Amino acid sequence: MTLPSPAGPSGLRPAPLLLPPAFTGLTVAAPGDAAGQACRLALAGDVEAGTLLVEEREDVIAFAVVLAPAEPLATARRAIFVGMQALADAVGSFGPPEIPVSFLWPDTLTFNGARLGGGALHWPQDCAEGDVPDWLVFSAMLIASKREAGDPGLTPDSTSLEEEGFPAELREPLVESFARHLTKAFEIWSEDGFTRSAGRYLARLVLPPGTRASVDEAGDARLTDAEGRGETLRLLPALVAPGWRDPVTGTVRL
């Protein structure tokens, strides 16, 4: 893999991260766009799977990792659940253990009942559903601080790592933790099958009381309430427009 020079137009340089052997860390110069950069580099064939890009920002922790899927796009999108598991495990390893890290379907991460961030999955636009994509990119963003957002009472639906008492200077440690948990999450999928992997995701999914959930091969969730009535939550439309992202700012909705 050839890395761009620090002064190059891409604005990338090696990141000071302690990552598992399969990963290569790169820093995206501010203001940065880790997800967009990762997709462009993957599309051009300039990076390998395991390349992890981290943005230099104070308001959010944002990063993206290039993946190498081994199945058709129609089922490979289930990687979103693995990425979300790794993100939640990384956040949980630094937060108070008694406070839950949960999901709102399919890609919003909440902490202590408030929106903290989320994940997104990206794939080649010209890839057919039945073809194996050359690459996938999982990206994530967490609110690090809301100091510039004014009175917290005006944005009660969201929270930040700073508000919740997480350690300062958490960007590098959290991204390193994410990489370790991502490796483990994919190992579980590979060794034990997707059913167990989906179960780990569903254990954090916020559901109405008495509701049971399962995930099918396409990544759609099937919900069954206490009276046996069913509902299907489609994955693809949700991935096209992540519910946690503010379309105006491109960051997490406050």
pLDDT in tens, the chain (254 residues): 333 333 334 679 999 999 999 999 999 987 779 999 999 999 999 999 999 999 999 999 999 999 999 999 999 999 999 999 999 999 999 998 899 999 999 999 999 999 999 999 999 999 999 999 999 999 999 999 998 877 777 899 999 999 999 999 999 999 999 999 999 999 999 999 999 999 999 999 999 999 999 999 999 999 999 999 999 999 999 999 999 999 999 999 99
In a domain, 210, yes or no: no
Distance of CA 48 to the CA centre of its chain: 19
252 belongs to a structural domain: no
Domain count, the chain: 1
Which of 55, 39, 14, 23 has the alpha carbon at shortest distance from 177?
Answer: 23
Contact 20, 183 (CB under 8 A): yes
Q: What is the dihedral of CA 144, 147, 150, 152, to 10 degrees?
A: 60
Whether 164 is in a domain gets the answer yes
The answer to whether residue 150 sits within a structural domain is: yes
pLDDT of res. 3: 35
pTM for the full model? 0.94
Distance from first CA to last CA of the chain, Å, rounded? Answer: 38
- Identify which of 8, 17, 254, 1 has the alpha carbon closest to the alpha carbon of residue 141: 254
> How confident is the model at residue 68, as a pLDDT?
97
What CATH number does the domain containing 33 carry?
Answer: 3.30.930.10
What pLDDT, on the 0 to 100 scale, is given for residue 28? Answer: 95
pLDDT of residue 90: 98
Domain of 94 in residue numbering reads as 12-205
Q: Is residue 224 part of a domain?
A: no
Q: Is residue 33 part of a domain?
A: yes
Look up residue 216 and give its two tokens.
């099918």
In a domain, 246, yes or no: no
Query: For position 4, what pLDDT does the model report?
Result: 36
Q: Tell me whether residue 191 is in a domain.
A: yes
